[in-house]
């Protein structure tokens, strides 16, 4: 994305004179002297029309993880879920072991086939194991490959005009990849998942793919905020000031400011390896377990456009998926994973490690959840800040905001709008 000269509504000379006062309304809404790439207009967090466009242009055209293969271990296991835009889906492991995903919509008259009582999004109620999926409305049945296998009084009603073969389910592109996650893409025409990732998972190849992984933790939280606020917390570590845990085990330790960010194509971002000093937090200890290839107490991450993070802290992999619900509501699913070969004692060790930082009484995750709620509460149409500033440049290291800029470069490309001024079309 081209970097243009910023407007000079507020010059650095003037800033000195104004230091003793707040800003007037005009000044508050003025552009800061930074390039387009270094700030975003807050309407992209609050405008419902922009949100609807994001669902169509981004969320329905990108590869998204929907669960882990270990959550469907047996043939004919199924679970329900949903995608942005309130799209109901059902994920099924066939008799052949293949995991497939379908729209959870009956091709007859559009009833939800596997019924969800509490909305389309999130885990997996109902889930289970079944030979067929039956639509309750008129009794049509479908098997785990999406074939329609039963239409009551088929010949009597449709003669030779329609038959079961016409009435298969809509199958959604599904891949099992990068540590056994189930990835889906609603768009049949877009690039392969390999091309979409652009090699970023080479960085975690050994950790994710040497041994089978297993989910030991699941948390779902719905937060009144814009989804991008949450993803941003996984792409910049300047906000380590928020987390006592991160300050003690990271920021105050040698080497903390050397960590590197590497932007990848398609808006993805690699977060470099660092080593945490867990013993610096009173009562904590070194993490005895790791993943294959991961150094003791090591920490590395991958941020994926449009809202996924793989966060590997030595003994625990934390993977966050998001499903946006509206411009001011997001459902976040957090999974913790270890190795399938773990003994029960090792599993408990990983769960303890996970909980010290990311569990309900840990010292990190809920702090992010609070921050992104208060961001959304303050940035309201017509009253909040006009811009969010992403202008830190520190040679692509720990407190640099290159990860945010690479995200919004991709956002602008896909939306055909500048994130710094969404009224300006780029395509």
Residues forming contacts to Fe ion in the complex (CB under 5 A) are 233, 368
CB of 155 to ligand FES, least distance (A): 16
CB nearer ligand FES, residue 131 or residue 393: 131
Dmax over CA atoms of the chain, in Å, equals: 85
What's the DSSP call for residue 59? Answer: I
Q: How far is the CB of 166 from ligand FES (least distance, A)?
A: 14
User: By C-alpha distance, which of 271, 80, 105 is closest to 182?
Assistant: 80
What span, in angstroms and rounded, lies between the C-alpha atoms of 244 and 268? 27
233 binds, among ligand FES, Fe ion, none (CB under 5 to 8 A by kind): Fe ion
Choose the stretch contacting ligand FES; rule: CB under 6 A; options: 134-142, 212-220, 224-232, 419-427.
134-142
Question: Is the CB of 171 or the CB of 393 nearer to ligand FES?
Answer: 171
- Considering beta carbons, is residue 108 or 366 the nearer one to ligand FES? 108
Residue 106 lies near ligand FES (rule: CB under 6 A): yes
Nearest CB to Fe ion, comparing residues 46 and 233: 233
CA atoms of 156 and 318, how far apart (whole Å): 54
Question: Measured from the CB of residue 136, what is the shortest distance to Fe ion in angstroms?
Answer: 43
Residue number, 25 or 117, with CB nearest to ligand FES: 117
Does residue 102 touch ligand FES according to CB under 6 A?
Answer: no
3-state secondary structure of 49: helix
Residue 323: partners with Cβ closer than 8 Å, 6 or more residues away: 82, 83, 84, 121, 122, 330, 331, 333
Comparison of 36 and 353: residue with beta carbon closer to Fe ion: 353
Distance (Å, whole) CA 174 – CA 66: 10
Cα gap 427→412, rounded to integer Å: 9
Q: Which residue in 30, 75, 111, 366 binds ligand FES (CB under 6 A)?
A: 111
Beta carbons of 43 and 380 less than 8 angstroms apart: no
Binds 217: which of Fe ion, ligand FES, none (CB < 5-8 Å by kind): none
106: partner contacted, choices Fe ion, ligand FES, none (Cβ within 5-8 A by kind)? ligand FES
CA quadruple 161, 165, 167, 170: dihedral, nearest 10: -140
Phi then psi for residue 101, to 5 deg, are -125, 140
CA distance 318 to 310: 6
108 lies in the site for ligand FES, by CB under 6 A: yes
Are 94 and 102 spatial neighbours (Cβ–Cβ below 8 Å)? no
Quick one: what does residue 368 bind among Fe ion, ligand FES, none, with the CB cut-off 5 to 8 Å set by partner type? Fe ion
What are the b/e assignments for 300-309, b being 16+ CB within 10 Å?
A: bbbbbbbbbb
CB of 14 to Fe ion, least distance (A): 34
Give the range of 46-54, 108-116, 274-282, 362-370 binding ligand FES by CB under 6 A: 108-116
Q: Check residue 135 for interaction with ligand FES (CB under 6 A).
A: yes
Position closest to Fe ion via CB: 368
**Shortest distance, position 114 Cβ to ligand FES, whole Å:** 11
Q: Is 137 in the site for ligand FES (CB under 6 A)?
A: yes
Q: Which does 138 bind (CB under 5 to 8 A by kind): ligand FES, Fe ion, none?
A: ligand FES
Nearest approach, Cβ of 230 to Fe ion (angstroms)? 10
What is the number of other CB atoms lying within 10 angstroms of the CB of residue 176? 14
Does residue 109 bind ligand FES (CB under 6 A)?
A: yes
Select from 138, 380, 424, 425 the one that contacts ligand FES (CB under 6 A).
Answer: 138
CA–CA separation, 276 vs 287, rounded Å? Answer: 10
In which element (H, E) is residue 365 found?
helix 365-378
The CA distance from 400 to 38, in Å, is 11
Report the C-alpha gap between 187 and 177 in whole angstroms.
18
> What is the smallest separation between the CB atom of 156 and ligand FES, expressed in angstroms?
15
Instruction: State both tokens at 210.
Output: 């040497």
By CB under 6 A, name the binding residues for ligand FES: 106, 108-109, 111, 135, 137-138, 140
């Amino acid at each position: 994305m081209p970097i243009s000269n910023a407007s000079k509504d507020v010059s650095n000379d003037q800033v000195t004179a104004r230091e003793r006062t707040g800003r007037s309304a005009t000044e508050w809404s003025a552009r800061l002297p930074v390039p387009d790439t270094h700030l975003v207009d807050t309407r992209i967090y609050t405008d419902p029309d922009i949100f609807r466009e994001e669902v169509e242009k981004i969320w329905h055209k990108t590869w998204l993880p929907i669960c882990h293969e270990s959550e469907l271990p047996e043939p004919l296991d199924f679970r329900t879920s949903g995608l942005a835009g309130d799209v109901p889906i059902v994920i099924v492991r066939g008799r052949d072991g293949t995991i497939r995903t379908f729209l959870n919509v009956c091709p007859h008259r559009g009833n939800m086939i596997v019924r969800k009582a509490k909305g389309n999004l999130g885990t997996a109620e109902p889930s289970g194991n079944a030979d067929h999926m039956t639509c309750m409305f008129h009794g049509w049945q479908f098997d785990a490959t999406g074939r329609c296998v039963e239409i009551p009084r088929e010949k009597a009603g449709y003669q030779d005009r329609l038959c079961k073969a016409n009435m298969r389910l809509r199958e959604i592109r599904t891949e099992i990849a990068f540590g056994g996650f189930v990835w889906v893409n609603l768009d049949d025409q877009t690039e392969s998942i390999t091309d979409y990732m652009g090699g970023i998972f080479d960085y975690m190849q050994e950790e994710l793919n040497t041994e089978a992984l297993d989910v030991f933790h699941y948390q779902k939280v719905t937060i009144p905020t814009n989804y991008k606020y949450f993803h941003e917390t996984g792409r910049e570590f300047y906000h380590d000031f928020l987390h006592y845990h991160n300050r003690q085990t990271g920021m105050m330790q040698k080497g903390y400011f050397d960590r590197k960010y590497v932007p990848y194509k398609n808006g993805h971002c690699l977060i470099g390896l660092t080593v945490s000093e867990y013993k610096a937090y009173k009562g904590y200890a070194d993490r005895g377990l790791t993943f294959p290839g991961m150094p003791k107490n090591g920490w590395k991450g991958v941020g994926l456009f449009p809202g996924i993070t793989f966060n590997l802290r030595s003994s625990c992999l934390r993977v966050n998926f998001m499903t946006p619900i509206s411009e001011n509501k997001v459902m976040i699913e957090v999974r913790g994973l270890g190795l399938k070969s773990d003994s029960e004692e090792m599993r408990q060790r990983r769960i303890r490690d996970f909980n010290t930082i990311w569990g309900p009484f840990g010292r990190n995750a809920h702090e992010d959840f609070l921050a992104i709620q208060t961001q959304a509460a303050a940035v309201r149409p017509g009253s909040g800040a006009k811009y969010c500033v992403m202008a830190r440049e520190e040679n692509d290291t720990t407190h640099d905001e290159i990860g945010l800029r690479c995200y919004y470069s991709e956002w602008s490309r896909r939306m055909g709008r500048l994130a710094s001024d969404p009224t300006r079309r780029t395509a």
